[in-house]
Structure 1
Amino acid sequence: MADPPALPRAVPWAGLVLTALLVSLAFVLPHQFGWEVASRAPRNASPDEVPPLHGLWRPKLFGPGTLPALALALLGWLYAADLARLPWRRLLVTSYAGSLAWLLSLAFVDGKSGISRVLGNPYEYLVTAREVDSVPHLLDTYISRIPYAADDNWPTHVAGHPPATLLFFVGLVKVGLGGDFAAGTVVTVLAATTVVAVLVTLRALDAEQWARRAAPFLVLTPAAVFMAVSADALIGAVVAWGLACLALATRRLSWAVPAGLLLGTSVLMSYGMPLMGLVALAVLLAARSWSPLPVAGTVALGVVLAFAALGFAWWDAYPVLRERYWDGIAADRPQSYWWYGDLACLAISAGPLLGSGVLVAAASAVTSARRSARTVLLLAGAAVAVVALADASGMSKAEVERIWLPFVPWLTLSFALLPKRWRRWGLGLQVAAALVVQHLFYTAW
């Protein structure tokens, strides 16, 4: 497939410069002017804080995963074009293997603790999951334990999500995979499937060539730094597979049932996932088929209503969650900083090409290129809209390097629109950024 009609050379350069400027300002301004932006809760305060990241300044030159990560980065950069030319099934298998290896090697820069330390944190899920002995009781009392004022209030991450995320970890505990390292490994293995789901989505929408162009960027994403062991990456995988099934449902309607199950479940894993409905609509618009919508929508609604019948009504929980959110550290996080601080975190997670991809997509949308790149423009454009809404909501101030992980793969599709030369050296820039972030910061995920 030939490149779309050429855009002015300044477009991707402008995006790269704007991304660098955004990230630089987000790091420099709080330090330069002594702003207190509360990137970390008081209980985790540290002189090594580096807003806008939730992490800490902890440079390390070498770790157990450094050499494997460097080798993967070099091989990926050298052979990206060969990856894109593989037969389809081999492309999917290789992409998954590469993604998993990339996630694990970056996590192991911190040694075994890079997999185990996060989920073992008492503010995460596993400690609570190990204490659950009755799922019906859990669901029936879930909302009452969200407020800070509750005597037995949930830990931060449990309170901040609907119960399906916690139930996933309860399931791991019940089958003997509830150890810190075992659970972290399971989450990482599942998170790595996201790349396959996105590629399947594109092919089902008759955009296989765009999938091939995007594959190296999806595999070697800087978001891998935050994806390994992150529950938000797990949520991203669930919603990505839901969208893949929805795309397949435009060809065979029976796929609408798993699409609805997965998308409905994602809503019960994260309060932000209803926003991904915009990407779901983009999938149907790209396919020029609305036939899966009634079935998938009914099944998704059925999942939500089933949880409501068992005691957890999403619409009752969200206002309570908002109250807890504003009773906590969110009240100390100035929106005047975090509206762009969040975007800087997103750029660190998605990589330095984010601005270039988005600007090229925007420029392509108003030129003749929009016809050949219609599917990518719809999906990436919907993801941009999702980010804009999430940012404007004020419900994601800080920590979005992980919270917005479900949005990153769909934004990454815009990189496929970059000129061929940009895709070549841009992939090198992406992997270099991932290595730098992993080795300079303790990312907390």
Structure 2
Amino acid sequence: MTASRESVRAPLRSTPRAGLVRADLLAAGIAVALVCAAVLVAVADPAVTGVPSTRIAAPLFARWLPHVGPGTPAALVLAAAVSWHGPALADRLPWRRLLGVSYVAAVAWTMALAMVDGWQRGLAGRLTTPHEYLAEVPGVTDLPATLRGFTGRILDFQPDSWTTHVAGHPPGALLVFVGLDRIGLGGGGWAALVCVLGGALAVVAVPATIRTLGTEEAARAAVPFLVLFPGAVWVGASADGLFTGVTACGIALLAAAATRTGTTGRWLAALAGLVLGFGCYLSYGLVLMALPAVAVLVAARRITPLFWAGLGALAVVAAFTLAGFWWLDGYHTLVERYYQGIASDRPYAYWVWANLACLTLAAGPAMAPVVRRVVVDAVRGPRRWPTATVALPLGALVAILAADASGMSKAEVERIWLPFAVWLPAAAVLLPTRGRRGWLVVQALTAIAVNHLLLTTW
């Protein structure tokens, strides 16, 4: 415990404090400048984005619509309360109570932001548009036949082509909403609430992972930043919010497995594999969660859980394959559909850097100095690299850069990259204690500004 804590604090002592603060402000300034550049380029020439003009608030997939709503007062109160009292409460509350309080606060924050647009426009109607999953739910009457014929309906311009979101994901995502409908939780309202409640699980899973692999101090420092995570704008409500919670829980289970031996460790690893394996059937891009998973094993300095987690993931693959859906066929067909329209319309030359501007708004400008400190700590030497506060955000960052370079993420990454972005606050402990309230205010204002100036699509 002592060694880990010293390794976390070492970067803060290594250079003069004023120099560190200036470097942090410079990093945040560069991130904000990137956002401004992406906006200005899109305003100067909307065609460069390849996004329909009715949604031209690039780089975000939204349109300009300054407004207030029923959630505005609650969002302002929560932002002020968490910014001011959050760090102190995170320090002194008993651990389990802290996780419970943080989960409730994250749900309230997400709901308040969504309610700025009102119940129907902000939540209940988000997943009921013609492009969304719920549009296909009534037509799924034979699950085995749906899985067997899933890939054949991915390509566009067919009479029975899947809607955009169903075609763009493996069948696991559709099955979730079909399952909700079958148990009596049908419709957009229930679907949105499940996304919010599921997405907020990341606020528990991420600190639990940090505490398991690193120090409780680092875990507690991350909690207020996770509660006021600006990406909550898109957690409420998009299916990617749910994917974020699911994969975060998978990583937390893997961390628990990596710190245990015997039967318990093996079962936890297998369960982690099941959860992360299912994540790959929620979204193709979530195969990149393998990088944060590797970061867990590096931080724990154990490789054994990989075998049992692999068995768990293979069980999911086997189940879907036997049911008639082969993941690779689905992915290759999706690539073909992607280039039937969206990928050809959206220039790589703009989005390869504008995506990072979207990430700045979803993760928050405060994550720029966090990332700077993570990278600096990582390159200083292999002795420090494996610490959880460095390895976890670094794994997520590498996954983001891989997704960006692939060209399969052009726009809309403010929601698509949520499962990775939520791991960046794991290194919040690297920020000086006295400056954290200020950075929390920046995070909260980012989310509030986005939701009040724009009408986001998701």
* TM superposition score normalised by structure 1: 0.95
**Who is 2:25 aligned against?**
13
1:116 is the counterpart of 2:124:
yes
2:297 to 284, 303, 311: 284
Q: How big is the shift at 1:34?
A: 5.1
1:106 is the counterpart of 2:123:
no
- Return the alpha-carbon distance in structure 2 between the equivalents of residues 74 and 227 of structure 1: 21
Task: Report the more deviating stretch, 142-151 or 318-327.
Answer: 142-151
**Who is 1:36 aligned against?**
48
Q: How big is the shift at 1:368?
A: 7.7
1:72 is the counterpart of 2:78:
yes
* Partner deviation per Cα, 1:13-34 (whole Å, 9 max, x = no partner): 2211110110000000122245
1:218 to 226, 234, 248: 226
Report the 3-state secondary structure (helix = DSSP H, G, I; strand = E; otherwise coil) of the residue aligned with 1:130.
helix
- Return the alpha-carbon distance in structure 1 between the equivalents of residues 103 and 381 of structure 2: 34
- Return the alpha-carbon distance in structure 2 between the equivalents of residues 217 and 315 of structure 1: 37
**Who is 1:83 aligned against?**
89
**Who is 2:172 aligned against?**
164
Task: Return closer, same or farther for 1:75/1:317 CA change in 2, 3 Å cut-off.
Answer: same
**Who is 1:406 aligned against?**
419
Task: Report the more deviating stretch, 217-226 or 182-191.
Answer: 182-191
1:129 is the counterpart of 2:123:
no
Maintained 8 Å contact 2:194/2:242: no
Report the 3-state secondary structure (helix = DSSP H, G, I; strand = E; otherwise coil) of the residue aligned with 2:316.
helix
1:140 to 120, 129, 148: 148
1:176 is the counterpart of 2:179:
no
1:431 is the counterpart of 2:431:
no
1:195 is the counterpart of 2:195:
no
**Who is 2:319 aligned against?**
306
- Return the alpha-carbon distance in structure 2 between the equivalents of residues 178 and 207 of structure 1: 42
**Who is 1:353 aligned against?**
366
Maintained 8 Å contact 1:360/1:417: yes
What is the aligned length? 439
- Return the alpha-carbon distance in structure 2 between the equivalents of residues 77 and 372 of structure 1: 30
**Who is 1:379 aligned against?**
392
Maintained 8 Å contact 1:272/1:390: yes
Paired residue type of 2:82: G
Maintained 8 Å contact 1:376/1:413: yes
- Return the alpha-carbon distance in structure 2 between the equivalents of residues 50 and 323 of structure 1: 27
Q: How big is the shift at 1:416?
A: 2.6
2:69 to 63, 70, 75: 63
Task: Return closer, same or farther for 1:39/1:295 CA change in 2, 3 Å cut-off.
Answer: same
Task: Return closer, same or farther for 1:56/1:35 CA change in 2, 3 Å cut-off.
Answer: same
* TM superposition score normalised by structure 2: 0.93
Paired residue type of 2:89: L
Paired residue type of 1:96: Y
Paired residue type of 1:107: A
**Who is 1:296 aligned against?**
309
Q: How big is the shift at 1:82?
A: 2.3
Paired residue type of 1:307: F
Maintained 8 Å contact 1:162/1:271: yes
* Partner deviation per Cα, 1:232-276 (whole Å, 9 max, x = no partner): 111111111111110111114121121011011000111001111
Task: Report the more deviating stretch, 372-381 or 196-205.
Answer: 372-381
Report the 3-state secondary structure (helix = DSSP H, G, I; strand = E; otherwise coil) of the residue aligned with 1:50.
coil
* Partner deviation per Cα, 1:191-219 (whole Å, 9 max, x = no partner): 11111111111122133211101110011
Maintained 8 Å contact 1:69/1:102: yes
- Return the alpha-carbon distance in structure 1 between the equivalents of residues 438 and 268 of structure 2: 38
- Return the alpha-carbon distance in structure 2 between the equivalents of residues 306 and 404 of structure 1: 27
Paired residue type of 1:64: P
Task: Report the more deviating stretch, 3-12 or 234-243.
Answer: 3-12
Paired residue type of 2:216: E
What residue ranges of structure 1 are gaps of 5+ in the alignment? none
Q: How big is the shift at 1:183?
A: 1.6
What residue ranges of structure 2 are gaps of 5+ in the alignment? none
Q: How big is the shift at 1:35?
A: 4.0
**Who is 2:349 aligned against?**
336
- Return the alpha-carbon distance in structure 2 between the equivalents of residues 242 and 394 of structure 1: 26
1:326 is the counterpart of 2:339:
yes
Task: Return closer, same or farther for 1:16/1:137 CA change in 2, 3 Å cut-off.
Answer: same
- Return the alpha-carbon distance in structure 1 between the equivalents of residues 162 and 385 of structure 2: 49
- Return the alpha-carbon distance in structure 2 between the equivalents of residues 416 and 163 of structure 1: 38
**Who is 2:253 aligned against?**
245
Maintained 8 Å contact 2:218/2:428: no
Q: How big is the shift at 1:421?
A: 2.8
Task: Return closer, same or farther for 1:373/1:274 CA change in 2, 3 Å cut-off.
Answer: closer
Paired residue type of 1:352: P
Report the 3-state secondary structure (helix = DSSP H, G, I; strand = E; otherwise coil) of the residue aligned with 1:56.
strand
Q: How big is the shift at 1:150?
A: 3.0
RMSD, aligned α-carbons: 1.6
Maintained 8 Å contact 2:48/2:350: no
- Return the alpha-carbon distance in structure 2 between the equivalents of residues 348 and 171 of structure 1: 33
Paired residue type of 1:87: P
